[in-house]
A and B are shown apart, each in its own frame.
Chain A
Amino acid sequence: MNRDHFNVLIFDLTTGKGEYAQVDGRDQVAGGSGLAALLFTRYGQPNAPWDFPGQPLIFAIGPLTGYFPLMSKTICSFKSPYHNQYTESHGGGRSAMALRLTGLDALVLIGRSPTPCFFEVSSTHFQARDGGFLWGQDVFETGKLLRRMSKGSGHRSILRIGSAGENGAAIAGINVDTLRHFGRLGGGAAMGVKNLKAIIIHGDAILPLPNGNHYAKLFSKVHSQVTASGMMKKYHDLGTPANLKTLNDIQSLPWRNLQATADEAVDCISGERFADEALLRNSACSGCPVGCIHVGFVREKFMDSHRYLYRQVAYDYETIFSLGTMLGVTDRSAVLTILDLFEKAGMDAMSAGVALAWATEATEKGFISAQETLVPLTFGDSAGYRQAAVSFGAGANTFYRLLGQGTLKAAEVYGGKDFACVLGQEMAGYATGEVFFAAQALGFRHSHLDSGAYSYDQQHADKDVNAAVEFLLRDEASRVFMTSMVACLFARNVYTDALLSECLQSLGYDKLADTIPECGRDIQKMRWQTRVATGFQPDSITIPKRFREITTWKGPIDPQYLQSLQTDYGQAILAMAGA
C-alpha cells in the first residue's frame, strides 16, 4: 500500500539463490501489465530465444490487488514459445491474493534448475525444492501431492504444469489452483524449460490498511455494486456460456473448424443446458464475491454393476466453443470429458480444440490420416477426440508434437494452411466479423480480451477503417490500465476511471489516480515496445483464407475491408509504439 517502488523477488533457478529488489516506477507503470513489461526490459533478453535459460518468467500484481473486490488477477509474462516474442497471460484463482500476501509486487524466475524442482515463496522464505518425483505427474496428481507436502490449505496458491509443459508444447498452459489457468501462448513450456514443475505461493503476510474509515466505506460501496446491482449477474448466472446461443443467433459461433457460423444443434450445448444439466457448483477467485467459475460434473460408468466415477471440470464459453462446436461435439458430458483430459495434460484447451478441428478437416481433405492422428478424426465423434486428446496432451508422436507448436506449424508441413483457424494464435470463439479477426490477429495477447472488437463488430455494420482502428487502440489503452491494477476484466463496467481513481486515492496513490488515461497510454506504448523489440512484425501475420469464406449477420466477410483493417491496425500499432 502506498509505495512508490515495487518489491520484487528475483530467483535464479540455476544457482538456487534469490534476492529482493526495490524497483522504481510506480507512477509510470502502475503494476501488473506495466510492471511485467518493465521487468522484462530489465531482466529479459529480447534477442535470445524463448528457451534461453536467462529468460525471465514474471508474475506481477498491481496496486489494487487484494485491496478491492475483483482485483484478483495476476499477470504472467514471458517470451512465448509460440511466436518467440514477449507476451502476457492472465490468471486468477488464489494467485493474486497469495502474491499480495507475500508482500511482493512481482516474482521473477530466471535460470534453469539443473534438475526438476518446485519453488516455494512466502512473506519470509523462498526456496527451490527437489521435484524429480513430480516430473511426469499430471496436473491434478501434482496438485494433490503438493497439497500434502505443504501447509496452508486455502491460504496458498499452487501453480503447476503437466506433460504438455514438460514437453515444451507451445500451447502448454500453467494450471492455477485446479480451476484457473495462465492458459495461452505457452507459459507452461516457459516453466517446463526451466525444469520448474510447480510454484507454491504462501500468502501469510499481514498488511496494514489505511487509517480512518474512508477505505472501508469505499470497499463496501464497490462490494455492493458487484454483488447487489446485477451488473455482474451474467457472469455468475449462466456465465460466459450464455454467449453460445447469442453468437449462434447472429451467425458468429464457429462450428466444425469454422465451416459454419450457426447450427441448430446449439440447443444441446447452450449455456442454459450446461447450467441446468451439467453444473455442479460455482467457485471464485480469492477476493471476488462474484463466483463466476462454473464447475461441471461428468459421471462415468467404468465397470458393470453400476460402478461410477465422477469428475469435476470447470467450463467456460471458450472451452465449450473449442471442444464442442469447433469439433461438432454436442454432447455436454463428452465436451467436459475431453476438456478434463487437456486439463490433466496441462494443455491450453482453447488452442488444443482449435488445433484438433483443423486436424479433422485436414483428415477429411486427405492431408493427413490416422497414421498421423493415431485415431480417425471425424467431426462429432467424441470417442475419437477422447483418444486424440490423450495422444495430443502427451505429445505421443511427431505429428502431435508438431501440432503442439501451433496449428500453422503443422499446416506448413502437412498442408491445409488455408483452413487453419489461427489469428496470431488459435482463434477465440468469436466469428463476429472483420474487426475481430484483425484485432485478434494483431492484438498484444492475440486474445479476445485485448479489446472489445467482437462487441464493435456486433454494433457496427459500417466499414469505417479509421474509426475501427481508433477504437481498438483507445479501448486497449483503457484495458491495459485495468490489467495493470490488476482487475478481472469482467469488472470493466464496474471500475470506471472515476472509481479507479477513488480506489487509488484511498490507498495513497494520488499521482496514479490523477493520470489514469495518460498512464494507460504510456503502459500500452511500453508494452508494445517490449513486444516489438522481441520481433513483432504485423506484416508477417497472415489471416488464413477460411476467415474470408464465412458469412456472419453482416453478410459475407468483405476481404478488402479485412485487409485494410489488418494493414492500418498494424501500422497504427507500430506508430503508437514509435517503431
Chain B
Amino acid sequence: MKILTAPRMDRCIGCHSCSLACARLVHHRLSWDTAGIRIHSSGGLTTGFIAVHCLACAPPPCAEACPTGALVPRKGGGVVVKKKLCNHCGLCAAACPVEAIFIDQEGEPFVCLHCGLCVPSCPHDCLELAEVSSLRLPSPSNSTEPVS
C-alpha cells in the first residue's frame, strides 16, 4: 500500500503546482486550500517551504474523532472519506496533529487520499508515492534491537 511522501522538500520552489493539481484533478476547483497537500513558507531559522499533507497515521486520530464514520481508516494509513456521511462538524481537523485537514466554509473536510495525482506536477521531484512498508519501522513488539 502506498502513501504520499514529500522527501525532497528542500528542492521546493513554492510554485504550488502540487496543491493546485490536487484541487484541480481531485476536487475540481481552483484553490490553494481545497487540496490534500498545501504549501506554506517554512520561516523560522531555515527558509524554504513545507508541505502540509496527511502523514498516513495508523490508526488515524481523525477517523477516531469522526462521529459519523465519514472518515474510515485506510489500509496502510490515512483515511478514506465518505462525503455522504459527513456532518461537517470539523472534529477531524481538530484531531489531526499536523493540521493536514482543511475545512472549507461549508464545513467540508479536504484531506490527502494518497492517490498520487499531485506527484507528477512537481517540477523538482519533491514528492513521491512510496510503499508504506518501506517507510515504517517495525512495531516495538517486533523489534529485536535494544532501546537505548
Which of A100, A208, A291 is within 8 Å of B13, CB to CB?
Answer: A291
Of A277-285, A430-438, A510-518, A525-533, the one contacting chain B is A277-285
Q: Is the contact region of chain B dominated by helix, strand, or loop, or is it mixed?
A: loop
Which of B29, B41, B43, B124 is within 8 Å of A207, CB to CB?
Answer: B29
The proximity string for B residues 38-69 relative to A, scoring 1 for CB distances below 8 Å and 0 otherwise, is 11110100011100000000000000000000
* Total chain A interface residues with beta-carbon distance under 8 A: 35
At the interface, yes or no: A312 with Cβ under 8 Å from chain B? yes
The proximity string for B residues 9-23 relative to A, scoring 1 for CB distances below 8 Å and 0 otherwise, is 000011111001000
Q: A154-B14, A227-B123, A282-B13 are in contact. Are A100 and B39 (CB under 8 A)?
A: no
Query: What class of interface size applies to chain B in its complex with A?
Result: 20 to 34
Enumerate chain B residues within 8 angstroms of A223, measured Cβ to Cβ: 17, 121
The reply to whether A288 and B29 form a contact with Cβ atoms under 8 Å apart is no
- Most chain A beta-carbon contacts within 10 A, residue among B28, B48, B123, B124: B123
The reply to whether A154 and B41 form a contact with Cβ atoms under 8 Å apart is yes
Q: Is the contact region of chain A dominated by helix, strand, or loop, or is it mixed?
A: loop
Q: A223-B121, A289-B123 are in contact. Are A207 and B16 (CB under 8 A)?
A: no
Closest to A312 in B: B47
Enumerate chain A residues within 8 angstroms of B124, measured Cβ to Cβ: 291
Q: A154-B41, A289-B121, A291-B124 are in contact. Are A216 and B16 (CB under 8 A)?
A: no
Closest to B39 in A: A154
Enumerate chain A residues within 8 angstroms of B20, measured Cβ to Cβ: 287
Enumerate chain A residues within 8 angstroms of B13, measured Cβ to Cβ: 281-284, 291, 293
Tell me the bound Cα distance from A204 to B15 in angstroms: 17
Enumerate chain A residues within 8 angstroms of B32, measured Cβ to Cβ: 97, 101, 154-155, 203-204, 286
Closest to B122 in A: A289
Min CB distance A143 to B, Å, is 11
A-B contact count (CB 8 A): 85
Interface residues of B in 82-134 (CB under 8 A from A): 104-105, 121-124
Which of A97, A154, A209 is within 8 Å of B28, CB to CB?
Answer: A209
Q: A155-B33, A289-B15, A291-B123 are in contact. Are A206 and B24 (CB under 8 A)?
A: no
The reply to whether A287 and B31 form a contact with Cβ atoms under 8 Å apart is no
The reply to whether B15 and A155 form a contact with Cβ atoms under 8 Å apart is no
Q: A153-B41, A289-B121 are in contact. Are A206 and B34 (CB under 8 A)?
A: yes
Enumerate chain A residues within 8 angstroms of B1, measured Cβ to Cβ: none
Min CB distance B133 to A, Å, is 31
At the interface, yes or no: A290 with Cβ under 8 Å from chain B? yes
Enumerate chain B residues within 8 angstroms of A101, measured Cβ to Cβ: 30-32
Enumerate chain B residues within 8 angstroms of A520, measured Cβ to Cβ: none
At the interface, yes or no: A414 with Cβ under 8 Å from chain B? no
At the interface, yes or no: A494 with Cβ under 8 Å from chain B? no
Closest to B52 in A: A154
At the interface, yes or no: A67 with Cβ under 8 Å from chain B? yes
Which of A1, A100, A219, A287 is within 8 Å of B15, CB to CB?
Answer: A287
Tell me the bound Cα distance from A69 to B20 in angstroms: 10
The reply to whether B29 and A209 form a contact with Cβ atoms under 8 Å apart is yes
The reply to whether A206 and B29 form a contact with Cβ atoms under 8 Å apart is yes
Closest to A93 in B: B14
Enumerate chain B residues within 8 angstroms of A66, measured Cβ to Cβ: 30
Min CB distance B52 to A, Å, is 9
Enumerate chain A residues within 8 angstroms of B29, measured Cβ to Cβ: 206-209
7 contacting pairs across A/B (C-beta < 8 A)? A154-B39, A206-B29, A207-B31, A208-B30, A209-B28, A227-B123, A288-B15
Nearest 3 interchain pairs by C-beta: A154-B40, A284-B15, A291-B13
